[in-house]
Amino acid sequence: MAPKPSLWLTLALGVTLVGMTHATDHIATPAKDPNLWLETIHGPKQLDWVKQQNAQTVKQYADSAEFKQLDARILEVLDSHDRIPMVSKIGDLYYNFWRDQDHPRGLWRRTTLEEYRKDQPTWETVIDLDALGKAENENWVWHGAYCLKPDNQRCLVALSRGGADASVIREFDLPTRQFVKDGFVLPEAKTDIAWKDKDHIYVATDFGPGSMTTSSYPRIVKEWKRGTPLASAVTVYEVKTDDMSVSAFRDQTPGFERDFVTRQIAFYDSETFLRGKDGKLTRIDVPTDANTGVHREWLLIEPRSDWNVGGKTYKSGSLLATKFDDYMAGKRDLTVLFESTDATALDGYSWTRHQLILNVMDNVVNTLEVLTPQPGAWKRESLGGAPKLSTIAAAAVDEDHNDDYFLTVSGFLQPTTLYLGTLGQGEAQAIKHSPSFFDASKYDVSQHFATSKDGTRVPYFEIAPKNLQTNGKNPTLQYGYGGFEVSLQPAYSGSVGRAWLEKGGVYVVANIRGGGEYGPRWHQAALKANRLRAYEDFAAVSQDLFDRKITSPAHLGAMGGSNGGLLMGNMLTLYPQLYGAIVSQVALLDMQRYTHLSAGASWIAEYGDPDKPQEWAWIKTFSPYANATAGKKYPPVLFTTSTRDDRVGPVHARKMAAKLETLGYDTSFYENIEGGHGAAADNKQAAFMSALGYTYLWDHVK
């Protein structure tokens, strides 16, 4: 199996812990910041301000019959019983987490493969989160379950209060569907846990003062024995305070049981160690910016920069294979499984029992390949490509026992289809179809390329009516992200269809630098001091839409969340002339204070350290909060966030909205009290937040 994702990766792109959600008053703050008081997240005065802002926004944008109808139609999409219930195999059964109108917080449930193939499977409820929350007087939100192989009798269940990343951990017995009395339990915290065996777990959590990093993640990982107090757990490894996090886990693959410890130095730098039976750690000797994965006898390595080893140079973004034991013994015989080109990048891989499925992007469109290990060059076979301008992805069903795989195909106008197949046994068979939520026959999907300020070609997707008039007057929504090597690929959205396309709007997805559409090089091109390249790319796509007479500034709206919310803040302050309105969701905005707010220190590798004067010199060029000034012609802007967002936190949006309002700009704000970084704890909240964003933009750019 590949190494268990550490906490930082599982929660990626944002971060913080319980106890870290209030202002850190001991830290030096910029002088004359009149909005500093809003950093106290749960203060009564601050929440009163939030409620007043919310009321104004609801009254203006969410109190009409038209809004309520859209809200209901989006909720209908999210709650639809015809959605595909995606599953994961645990033991002999297939598990799914499901939310709908009758179960807003959700059911963790299971069924057999025979039942799952049916149009209406019979499910057995394992945990009813709504009933559990009612019985315990808690607003539980599901955060997953980690089960002990190979017996799959016991699981560690993660439950969040209100959607925050911080979770409570409780041991659960699958056969009886009951929490284990006197089992492993951990209080609410940013915790990384993994089974070692039935009576021991690896745990990295808040052990008290000094046990957390400046990124607000665990600094110490311990081995905890059943029936003993947590205080007696044995320390396995400690990282530095200014590292990001630490984690440990056991690869439970029968015959290949191994223990690993990961030191996450920064967001893109880590060290992984093999832990011997004597507790000794032996480092896997790869560059710190390389990703590694172990499956049975194989070690896979993904270098994120060019790597010279064994007398050869391997390109950034490639995928390399070697025998794990041989590599640990000092041999450096590496087989190249994938090498990127100007147009291609590795999108991911998945091991089945005997083979490896590669998912490759070619100009942001997927193709699949199956590799079979053998001496020298591995055998290669195509598993198919996506239909035009669509997305195809495949992953193993049970990597320990067979070569079965699930495959999904989806597109902007193509609802997802789920296939089940076995490698080497013919084509996969369609077993589930997602419903259509709007009439896709009225629209076309196309891909275009804009030219950025420095001459770089930037791809973008456009979904538009077939009878589109190129008169520059079409209401257009441009969406982007541009960070953390995250790719924006074609995907079906009933909400976008109903909220935007059906009204006659054009929807655009910009694949700007900072993302992963062309691998590490595309991401690294907009890191730190080069951050402005991402914003130049987004502006170039907007300008290309104008040049093609698709729309014009008065009819162009822009939307993005998290790092994409920072993108929106910068389009507001750096390119206000391009947009008729902007929606910034769960955003980073105060880049001078971000490392001291929630888990901001986690992202220094992405943005830089504003506490270093030489780095603040260029960070301030993309700090919307610092750059917002009076006398500009900013378009109307809506900021949305969540009180329970313990990744980015609501502070950025609060302060930015307050500053712009004071400066006299048309500014709206809405903060959901629940929801975490997703800004919604259930489908009803998610529908409202989506309807609010789409309604706001449409009202301003129609």
Catalytic residue among 596, 652, 677, 700: 677
Contact predicate 490/410, CB 8 Å: yes
Q: Pull the structure tokens for residue 457.
A: 């070609």
Which residues in 134-148 are b (16+ Cβ under 10 Å) and which e? eeeeebbbbbebbbb
Q: Which run of H or of E encompasses 374?
A: none
Residue 562 among the catalytic residues: yes
Angle of CA points 407, 409, 414, to nearest 5°:
155
Catalytic residue among 316, 487, 542, 562: 562
Alpha-carbon dihedral sign for residues 365, 318, 383, 403: negative
- Residue 557 CB contacts under 8 Å (≥ 6 apart), including other chains: 475, 476, 477, 478, 579, 580, 581, 582, 583, 697, 698, 700, 701
Angle of CA points 155, 159, 165, to nearest 5°:
120
Give the count of beta carbons closer than 10 Å to the beta carbon of residue 40: 16
Number of H helices, E strands in the chain: 15, 39
Contact predicate 363/459, CB 8 Å: yes
Burial class (CB in 10 A: 0-12, 13-18, 19+), 611: middle
CA dihedral 342, 449, 638, 37 (to 10 degrees): 30
**CA-CA distance, 598 to 79, in Å (whole number)?**
32
- Residue 201 CB contacts under 8 Å (≥ 6 apart), including other chains: 156, 184, 193, 194, 195, 223, 224
Contact predicate 263/275, CB 8 Å: no
* Alpha carbon distance, N-terminus to C-terminus of the chain: 51
Q: Pull the structure tokens for residue 258.
A: 């191994």
- 148 phi/psi in degrees, rounded to 5: -90, 115
Which residues in 645-660 are b (16+ Cβ under 10 Å) and which e? bbbbbbbbbbbbbbbb
Structural Rg of the chain based on CA atoms = 25
**CA-CA distance, 163 to 434, in Å (whole number)?**
26
Residue 523 among the catalytic residues: no
Q: Where are the alpha helices (DSSP H) in 170-227?
A: none
Q: Are strands 154-161 and 476-479 parallel, antiparallel or unpaired?
A: unpaired
**CA-CA distance, 688 to 673, in Å (whole number)?**
13
**CA-CA distance, 30 to 592, in Å (whole number)?**
8
**CA-CA distance, 411 to 414, in Å (whole number)?**
5
**CA-CA distance, 584 to 506, in Å (whole number)?**
19
Question: What positions carry a catalytic annotation?
Answer: 562, 677
